[in-house]
């Protein structure tokens, strides 16, 4: 039996979330599951120690049940040519992982994932021959013998996982991977026993579940990640999913973990603009059908929302993958009554999923130590070695520099020229669909207070004011770049900062100069429905064409509903850039398509390869496609980049005596390009670690 966490105040706020649950094979100390998420440490056997540190940190933070990233049962199912495989060589080294988790009184499952046609290599095999939108390689059709061998490989990998100390395994049957490919008519037109109707399509998942149960024995836990909505045309119906779920429990599955959408789906499922807990209606329907615990997942980041889901009987456990990247100690903080100090995940995907899909190691924008626990270490200092540290600028870089320095034991004063913390992140929180960014700032406020950081708002220190410090960390950020645009009356020219701060307003016909991340955000700010669909699950689903899976296979309309009056602001918006590349080319790999789809839906007119000339009463004069033209607009919003603000660094050098204070320039003050918050926050932690 697991040891529950101490909870002097926590259970009064989270009585269900923090309560233990008997899963049949064993008990977990709370209802929080760290859902499977590939982090780039699974692929090399030599990274097992790093993976152990990463997962062990979450176990020490109080997570009830951990599920690893996906490991393929054989070569054909690897995600990449050298991807993670649950073979004897690899799993022999996993004892360090399971030991680390068990020593922290955690429980851990190994996830088995066969990529099928999503595999990024020429050995890819699937239900039929063909190519997915995610891979340049054409998969071959698994023969009947190949299907049988795949079942055997799942069973053997499961046996090896138990030998390595895992408490059980999870079978990945969702997100469009191999088993999902066999289940959906869209990808399974076979005429043998592994196709030919719904019963044949579900034969492989059921056979694998039965073989795995036999291989792992009666003491180990078997979880199956089931797709509740495929969100692709010609996917499964709800009736087919329900029949599969009941069949899986008959095969010995102990837990059903829920997944939503295939990776190729054109409906977002986890990005910031998806409403919180948008998919619990489907989870609740599943829970009514089966007698095993059901795990709710996807965009459940707020512990209060998680508690409500459980209290309402919509699920038995809550999967939190990215939130536990952001804060590995989330459960312990809830138990200790420190919910306000939980590091808030903002679902940006920038440092986690975007990195993984680029073949890099995952981390977290708001927690750069995630995935780097053995390399980026914040070692506490003694009171005798504590330094006086001034941090100038309370944007993301400054906030994290102040916090990390104070948590190490240094004496920190944070200066901010304005009356609010947040910098560019505070502006981003005003974009419809990015409301969670405000929660991240509130989390920083609470953690800074708990760490004893002195905050001086509305204070712009002079160089001489900083001479009494050992270290000065300049996080003074950026200012919007001003472009030279000859004007003779005509449209009002404003900066994006003035617009988002409310110091200026846009008219009904707007040109946005600059189509990077900020330009796209401004276009959405000017055109998004009010109130934001992110705050209304039903409206959001209508907007994206999500329907009942019995109404339409896969749960997605062939053509999303076009709502005549969805609250959009009546504006004509032009988004312009000098480059010939695709608008929004620099946006995140897993989120950029969502923003581009929103621009299309809003009717934003996009212009590439533009040369700007001048402004007059007729509008904005420019050249596009070698043709001179005039845009009849009343407002021009400039989103043409930023300039670093770092004058204070030179001023300190001029007035300081000796070697102190040491000056460290970080964030936008160091490099203004693309307002990279991930780089800025990582740089802040690295500087703090080196003090």
Catalytic center residues? 177
Instruction: Give 381-428 as a 3 state SS string.
Output: CCHHHCCEEEEECCCHHHHHHHHHHHHHCCEEEEECCCCCCCHHHHHH
Measured in residues, the chain has a length of: 691
> Are the CB atoms for 466 and 413 separated by under 8 Å?
no
Distance, CA of 129 to CA of 114 (rounded, Å): 16
DSSP strands (E only) in 202-303? 221-229, 255-260, 294-296
Phi/psi for 604 (5° steps) reads -70, 130
Instruction: Starting at the earlier edge strand, list the strands of the sheet with 509-513.
Output: 492-495, 635-638, 509-513, 572-576, 605-607
Q: Reduced to 3 states, what is the DSSP secondary structure of residue 583?
A: coil
DSSP strands (E only) in 179-313? 221-229, 255-260, 294-296
Residues 6+ apart with CB under 8 A from 619: 490, 491, 511, 630, 631, 632, 633
Q: Which secondary structure element, helix H or strand E, spans residue 67, and what is its range?
A: strand 65-71
> Are the CB atoms for 571 and 526 separated by under 8 Å?
yes
Listed in sequence order, the DSSP H helices in 473-562 are 496-501, 517-527, 537-544
Give bridge partners of residue 512 from the DSSP assignment.
Answer: 575, 637
Cβ burial, residue 388 (10 Å; 0-12/13-18/19+)? middle
Distance, CA of 3 to CA of 111 (rounded, Å): 24
Specify the long-range contacts of residues 93-96, CB closer than 8 Å, at least 24 apart. Answer: 93/45, 93/48, 94/48, 94/161, 94/164, 94/165, 94/166, 95/164, 95/165, 96/48, 96/49, 96/52
CA distances from 87 to 91, 165, 219 (A): 6, 14, 22
Dihedral over Cα of 50, 54, 60, 65: its sign: negative
Closest by Cα among 364, 337, 552, 373 to 440? 364
Closest by Cα among 513, 525, 474, 521 to 641? 513
Which pair of tokens denotes residue 65? 């049940």
Chain centroid, CA 521 distance in Å? 18
Which pair of tokens denotes residue 229? 């909505």
């Amino acid at each position: 039996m697991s040891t529950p966490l101490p909870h002097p105040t926590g259970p009064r706020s989270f009585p269900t979330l923090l309560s233990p649950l008997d899963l049949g094979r064993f008990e977990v100390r709370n209802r929080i599951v760290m859902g499977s998420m590939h982090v780039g440490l699974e692929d090399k056997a030599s990274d097992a120690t790093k993976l152990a540190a990463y997962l062990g940190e979450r176990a020490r933070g109080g997570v009830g049940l951990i599920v690893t990233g996906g490991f393929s049962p054989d070569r054909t199912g690897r995600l990449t040519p050298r991807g993670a495989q649950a073979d004897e060589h690899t799993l022999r080294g996993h004892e360090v992982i399971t030991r680390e988790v068990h020593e922290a009184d955690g429980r851990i499952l190994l996830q088995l994932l066969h990529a099928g046609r999503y595999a990024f290599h020429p050995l890819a095999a699937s239900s039929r021959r063909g190519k997915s939108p995610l891979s340049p390689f054409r998969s071959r059709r698994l023969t009947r013998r190949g299907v049988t061998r795949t079942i055997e490989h799942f069973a053997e990998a499961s046996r090896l996982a138990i030998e390595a100390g895992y408490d059980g395994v999870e079978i990945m049957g969702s997100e469009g991977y191999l088993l999902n490919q066999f289940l959906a008519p869209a990808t399974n037109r076979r005429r043998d026993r592994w196709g030919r109707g719904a019963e044949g399509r579900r034969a492989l998942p059921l056979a694998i579940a039965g073989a795995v149960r036999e291989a792992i024995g009666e003491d180990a836990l078997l979880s199956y990640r089931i797709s509740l909505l495929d969100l692709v045309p010609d996917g499964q119906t709800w009736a087919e999913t329900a029949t599969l779920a009941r069949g899986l429990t008959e095969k010995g599955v102990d837990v059903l973990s829920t997944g939503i959408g295939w990776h190729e789906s054109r409906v977002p499922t986890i990005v910031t603009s998806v409403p919180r807990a948008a998919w619990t209606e489907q989870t609740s329907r599943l829970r009514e059908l089966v007698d095993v615990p059901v795990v709710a997942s996807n965009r459940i980041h707020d512990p209060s929302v998680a508690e409500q889901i459980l209290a309402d009987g919509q699920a038995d456990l809550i999967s939190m993958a990215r939130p536990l990247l952001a804060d590995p100690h989330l459960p312990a903080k809830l138990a200790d009554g420190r919910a306000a100090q939980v590091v808030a995940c903002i679902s940006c995907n920038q440092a986690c999923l975007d990195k993984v899909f680029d073949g890099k190691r995952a981390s977290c924008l708001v927690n750069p130590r995630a995935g780097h626990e053995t390399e980026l270490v914040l070692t506490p200092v003694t009171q005798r070695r504590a330094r006086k540290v001034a941090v100038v600028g309370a944007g993301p870089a400054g906030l994290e520099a102040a916090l990390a320095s104070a948590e190490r034991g240094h004496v920190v004063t944070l200066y901010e020229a304005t009356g609010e913390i947040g910098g560019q992140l505070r502006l981003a929180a005003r974009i419809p669909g990015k409301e969670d960014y405000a929660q991240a700032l509130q989390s920083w406020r609470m953690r800074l207070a708990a760490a004893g950081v002195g905050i001086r708002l509305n204070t712009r220190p002079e160089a001489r004011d900083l001479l009494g410090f050992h270290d000065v960390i300049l996080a003074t950020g950026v200012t919007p770049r001003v472009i030279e645009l000859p004007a003779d009356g005509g449209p009002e020219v404003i900066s994006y900062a003035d617009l988002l701060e409310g110091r200026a307003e846009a008219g009904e016909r707007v040109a946005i100069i600059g189509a990077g991340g900020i330009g796209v955000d401004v276009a959405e700010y000017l055109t998004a429905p009010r109130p934001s669909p992110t705050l209304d699950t039903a409206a959001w689903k209508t907007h994206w064409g999500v329907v009942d899976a019995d109404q339409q296979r896969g749960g997605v309309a062939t053509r999303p509903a076009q709502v005549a009056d969805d609250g959009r602001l009546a504006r004509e918006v032009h988004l312009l850039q000098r480059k010939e590349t695709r608008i929004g080319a620099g946006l995140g790999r897993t989120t950029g398509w969502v923003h581009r789809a929103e621009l299309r839906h809003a009717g934003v007119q996009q212009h590439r390869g533009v040369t700007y000339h001048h402004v007059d009463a007729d509008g904005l004069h420019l050249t596009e496609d070698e043709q001179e033209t005039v845009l009849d607009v009343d407002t021009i919003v400039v989103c043409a980049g930023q300039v670093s603000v770092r004058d204070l660094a030179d001023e300190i050098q001029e007035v300081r005596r000796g070697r102190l204070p040491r000056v460290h320039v970080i964030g936008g003050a160091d490099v203004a390009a693309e307002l990279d918050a991930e780089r800025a926050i990582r740089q802040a932690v690295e500087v703090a670690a080196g003090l």
